[in-house]
C-alpha cells in the first residue's frame, strides 16, 4: 500500500488495479476506498460504496468524499437522504458547531487575546505603533480566523447603526478595508448557507461598491464545498461578473472560484466565458492587471486536483491574448490541477519553469510555478521532504522574484504542520533585507502554525512584533500570522 504512492506511468495503473481488486475481494473496504480515491475513478468509488453494508463506514466514506460523488450514488441505499446530506455537506456547519460545543470553544474571542502579550515576559505587543486603519484591518482578519464557523463574534456580527450601511466592524474600516470586513462575515458564517446568505445578502444592496464586493466574496466563502439544490452562489454571483466597477467584478469572480473550488462544474466553466469581457478590460494592462491574475486563479480552483483533465479548461477565447498571459494561465492551471496528487514528475516541471525558462524570458510566472511545487507534494511525507530541499536550493541560487515566492511555498507545503527545519528557515527569512521576503516569511510562520497554538511560533511572532516596532507593513503581517 505504501509503495503505491511512489509509482508513476503505466506501473501506477497496473499496481493500483491489483491492489484494488485484492482489497475488495477480502472486504477491506477502507483500503479499497483509498485506492479508488487515488485512482480518481468514480466507478471504483461507487463499487466500494455499494459493496459495503456497514452504515458507519458508509457515513465515513461520505464525509471523506463530501460533494465529489455523483448525485445518484446513494440511489439504492435505505439511508439515502442521510448519506446524501453528508455528501452535499448540508450538515457540515451543524456538525462543526456541535464539535465546538463539545470542546467548549463556542465563546467568541477578542483579537487582543490572540496577541498573547503575557507570553513575552512583559514585552507589550507593538500594535499601538502603526496607523489606526492598519490596526483595524488586522483586527478584522484576526477576528475572522479565530471565530471561523462559529456564527458569532464580538466585532462583525454585532448589530450596526442603521445609517452605517454595513456591519458594526465595517464602520471602523476605511476604503478597501470595507471589502475585507464584509468578506470576513463569510468566514464567521462558514458553511451555513441558509443563515449565512440571509445575513450577508442585505449588504449587496449597499450604496458602497466596496461593501458589495466584500459581500460577494463572503457569499463564495459561505458556499464553499456545500452543494445546494438551489445553487445560490451561481445565481447571485453571476449577475455581478460583468459589473462596471472593478472591485465588484473581483469579488464576484473570486467568490465563484472559492464556492466551486474543485467541483469542475461545467456550468461554472461555461460561466468563465460570460466574464471574458472583464478579462478583455485587462488586455492592455497585460499580466500586471489584477483581474488577469484573479481570473486565472479562479479558473484554476475549479480544476483543483483534476490532473490531466485540466486540458479541458483551455478555452478558445485565450487565443486572442498574448503568449505571456497564456503562459501565466497555463502555469496557474497546472499548479491547481496537480495539487495534492503526489505526481513526482510535476515538481520537476515546475523546477524547469523556475530555472530553465527564466533564461529565455523576463516574464514573471515563476511565482505560480514555485507554489506549484508545494501544492503537488502537500499530501505525502517523502515528497514533502524532497520539496523542502528543492525550495532551499531555489532560495540559495535563484533571483529575487523566485526568493519572494519560496516562503509562501514553504508555508503552503507545511500548513498546520510546524516542522522544525521549516520553522528555522522562515525565522531566518523573517529578518531578510528584502521587505517582501520578510513579509512572506512572517505570514508563512502563521500558516505552518495554523490551528496548532504552537508555543515556539507564538514566542517567535511575539518577538517579531517587538523587532518590527514602527514598521507598519511588517507589524500588520505579524498580527495576521498571530491570528
pTM of the model: 0.76
Highest mean pLDDT among 279-293, 327-341, 352-366 belongs to 327-341
pLDDT at 441: 94
pLDDT of residue 6: 60
Over range 280-295, report the average pLDDT: 59
Helix axes 406-413, 366-377, angle to 10 degrees: 20
Cα–Cα distance list, 345 to 32, 177, 194, 232 (Å) = 25, 41, 43, 39
Residue 269: pLDDT band by 50, 70, 90 thresholds? very low
Query: Dihedral angle at the C-alpha atoms of 420, 368, 267, 316, nearest 10 degrees?
Result: -160
Query: Do 338 and 346 contact (CB within 8 A), yes or no?
Result: yes
Q: Has residue 254 got a pLDDT over 50?
A: yes
Confidence of residue 119 (pLDDT cuts 50, 70, 90): very low
Nearest in space to 384 (alpha carbons), one of 414, 404, 406 = 414
* For the ranges 125-129, 166-170, 386-390, the one whose mean pLDDT is highest: 386-390
Higher pLDDT, 349 or 426: 426
Distance CA 326, CA 292 (A): 10
Task: Please tell me the distance from the alpha carbon of residue 446 to that of residue 448, in angstroms, as a whole number.
Answer: 6
**Alpha-carbon gap, residue 93 to 105, rounded angstroms:** 15
- Between the CA of residue 152 and those of 61, 105, 149, 200, what are the distances in Å? 31, 12, 8, 14
Per-residue confidence band for 238, with pLDDT thresholds at 50, 70 and 90: confident
pLDDT at 164: 43
257: pLDDT strictly greater than 60: yes
pLDDT at residue 159 in the model: 64
Residue ranges per structural domain of the chain? 2-87, 116-129+415-483, 354-413
Least confident of 233-247, 355-369, 462-476: 355-369
Residue tagged 507534494 (cell numbers)? 377
44-91 pLDDT tens trace: 888 888 888 888 888 888 888 775 655 556 655 567 778 878 877 888
Task: Give the pLDDT confidence score for residue 217 in this predicted structure.
Answer: 92
Average pLDDT, integer, range 428-456: 91
Round the average pLDDT of the chain to a whole number and report it.
Answer: 76
Q: Tell me how far the alpha carbon of residue 290 is from its chain's centroid.
A: 18
Q: What is the pLDDT of residue 263?
A: 67
Give the 3-state secondary structure of the chain: CHHHHHCCHHHHHHHHHHHHHHHHHCCCHHHHHHHHHHHCCHHHHHHHHHHCCCHHHHHHHHHHHHHHCCCCCCCCCCCHHHHHHHHCCCCHHHHHHHHHHHCCCCCCCCCHHHHCHHHHCCCCCHHHHCCHHHHHHHHHHHHHHHCCCCCCCCCCCCCCCCCCCCCCHHHHCCCCHHHHHHHHHHHHCCCCHHHHHHHHHHHHHCCCHHHHHHHHHHHHHHCCCCCCCCCHHHHHHCCCCCCCCHHHHHHHHHHHHHHCCCCCCHHHHHHHHHCHHHHHCCCCCHHHCHHHHHHHHHHHHHCCCCHHHHHHHCCHHHHHCCHHHHHHHHHHHHHHHCCCCCCCCHHHHHHHHHHCHHHCCCCCCHHHHHHHHHHHHCCCHHHHHHHHHHHHHHHHHCCHHHHCCHHHHHHHHCCCCCCHHHHHHHHHHCCCCCHHHHHHHHHHHHHHCCCCCCHHHHHHHHHHHHHCCCCHHHHHHHHHHHC
Mean pLDDT, to the nearest integer, of 159-168? 53
- How many Å apart are CA 432 and CA 409, to the nearest integer? 17
CA 132 to chain centre: 28
Give the residue, 383 or 68, on which the prediction is more confident: 383
Q: Kindly report which listed range (16-25, 179-188, 271-280, 333-342) carries the lowest average pLDDT score.
A: 271-280
Residue with cell 500594535: 127
Buried b (16+ CB within 10 A) or exposed e, 164-187: ebbbbbbebbeeebbbbbbbbbbb
26 versus 340: the higher-pLDDT residue is 26
* % residues pLDDT > 90 (the chain): 10
pLDDT at residue 420, as a whole number: 92
Highest mean pLDDT among 2-16, 196-210, 363-377: 196-210
Q: Residue 439: what pLDDT?
A: 93
Determine the pLDDT at residue 272: 47
Kindly tell me the sign of the dihedral angle through the C-alpha atoms of 229, 94, 139, 185.
positive
Of the two residues 114 and 415, the one the predictor is more confident about is 415
Reported as a single tens digit per residue, the pLDDT across 167-220 is: 656 666 777 788 888 888 889 888 888 888 888 888 888 888 888 999 999 999
Please give the pLDDT value at position 295: 75
pLDDT value for 195: 86
Between the two ends of the chain, the Cα-to-Cα distance in Å is: 38
Of 450, 475, 460, 401, the closest CA to residue 425 belongs to 460
CA 396 to each of CA 21, 376, 392, 399, 403: distance values in angstroms, whole numbers, following the listed order: 46, 22, 6, 9, 8
**Other C-beta atoms lying within 10 Å of the C-beta of residue 72:** 10
- Gap between the Cα atoms of 438 and 14, Å rounded: 46
Amino acid at each position: 500500500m505504501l509503495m503505491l504512492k511512489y509509482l508513476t506511468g503505466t506501473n501506477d495503473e497496473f499496481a493500483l488495479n491489483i491492489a484494488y481488486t485484492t482489497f475488495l475481494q477480502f472486504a477491506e473496504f477502507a483500503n479499497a476506498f483509498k485506492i479508488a480515491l487515488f485512482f480518481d475513478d468514480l466507478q471504483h468509488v461507487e463499487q466500494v460504496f455499494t459493496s459495503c453494508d456497514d452504515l458507519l463506514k458508509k457515513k465515513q466514506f461520505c464525509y471523506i468524499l463530501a460533494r465529489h460523488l455523483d448525485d445518484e450514488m446513494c440511489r439504492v441505499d435505505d439511508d439515502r437522504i442521510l448519506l446524501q446530506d453528508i455528501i452535499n455537506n448540508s450538515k457540515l456547519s451543524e456538525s462543526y458547531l456541535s464539535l465546538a460545543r463539545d470542546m467548549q470553544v463556542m465563546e467568541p474571542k477578542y483579537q487582543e487575546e490572540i496577541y498573547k502579550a503575557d507570553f513575552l515576559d512583559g514585552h507589550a505587543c507593538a500594535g499601538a505603533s502603526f496607523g489606526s486603519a492598519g490596526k483595524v484591518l488586522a483586527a478584522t482578519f484576526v477576528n475572522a480566523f479565530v471565530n471561523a464557523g462559529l456564527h458569532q463574534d464580538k466585532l462583525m456580527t454585532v448589530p450596526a447603526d442603521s445609517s452605517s450601511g454595513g456591519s458594526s466592524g465595517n464602520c471602523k474600516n476605511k476604503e478597501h478595508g470595507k471589502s475585507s470586513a464584509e468578506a470576513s462575515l463569510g468566514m464567521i458564517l462558514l458553511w451555513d448557507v441558509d443563515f449565512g446568505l440571509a445575513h450577508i445578502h442585505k449588504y449587496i444592496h449597499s450604496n458602497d461598491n466596496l461593501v458589495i464586493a466584500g459581500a460577494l466574496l463572503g457569499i463564495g466563502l459561505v458556499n464553499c464545498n456545500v452543494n445546494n439544490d438551489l445553487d445560490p452562489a451561481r445565481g447571485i454571483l453571476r449577475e455581478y461578473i460583468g459589473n462596471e466597477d472593478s472591485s465588484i467584478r473581483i469579488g464576484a469572480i473570486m467568490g465563484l472560484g472559492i464556492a466551486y473550488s474543485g467541483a469542475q462544474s461545467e456550468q461554472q466553466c461555461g460561466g468563465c466565458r460570460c466574464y471574458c469581457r472583464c478579462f478583455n478590460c485587462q488586455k492592455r494592462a497585460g499580466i500586471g492587471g489584477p483581474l488577469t491574475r484573479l481570473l486565472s486563479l479562479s479558473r484554476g480552483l475549479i480544476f483543483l486536483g483534476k490532473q490531466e483533465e485540466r486540458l479541458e479548461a483551455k478555452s478558445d477565447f485565450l487565443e486572442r491574448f498574448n503568449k505571456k498571459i497564456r503562459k501565466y494561465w497555463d502555469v496557474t492551471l497546472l499548479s491547481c490541477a496537480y495539487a495534492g496528487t503526489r505526481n513526482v514528475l510535476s515538481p520537476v516541471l515546475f523546477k524547469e519553469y523556475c530555472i530553465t525558462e527564466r533564461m529565455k524570458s523576463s516574464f514573471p510566472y515563476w511565482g505560480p510555478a514555485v507554489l506549484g511545487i508545494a501544492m503537488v507534494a502537500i499530501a505525502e511525507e517523502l515528497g514533502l521532504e524532497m520539496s523542502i530541499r528543492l525550495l532551499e536550493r531555489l532560495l540559495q541560487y535563484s533571483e529575487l522574484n523566485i526568493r519572494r515566492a519560496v516562503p509562501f511555498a514553504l508555508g503552503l507545503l507545511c500548513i498546520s504542520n510546524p516542522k522544525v527545519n521549516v520553522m528555522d528557515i522562515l525565522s531566518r527569512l523573517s529578518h531578510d533585507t528584502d521587505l517582501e521576503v520578510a513579509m512572506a516569511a512572517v505570514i508563512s510562520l502563521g500558516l505552518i502554525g495554523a490551528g496548532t497554538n504552537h508555543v515556539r511560533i507564538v514566542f517567535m511572532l511575539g518577538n517579531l512584533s517587538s523587532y518590527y516596532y514602527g514598521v507598519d507593513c511588517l507589524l500588520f503581517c505579524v498580527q495576521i500570522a498571530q491570528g
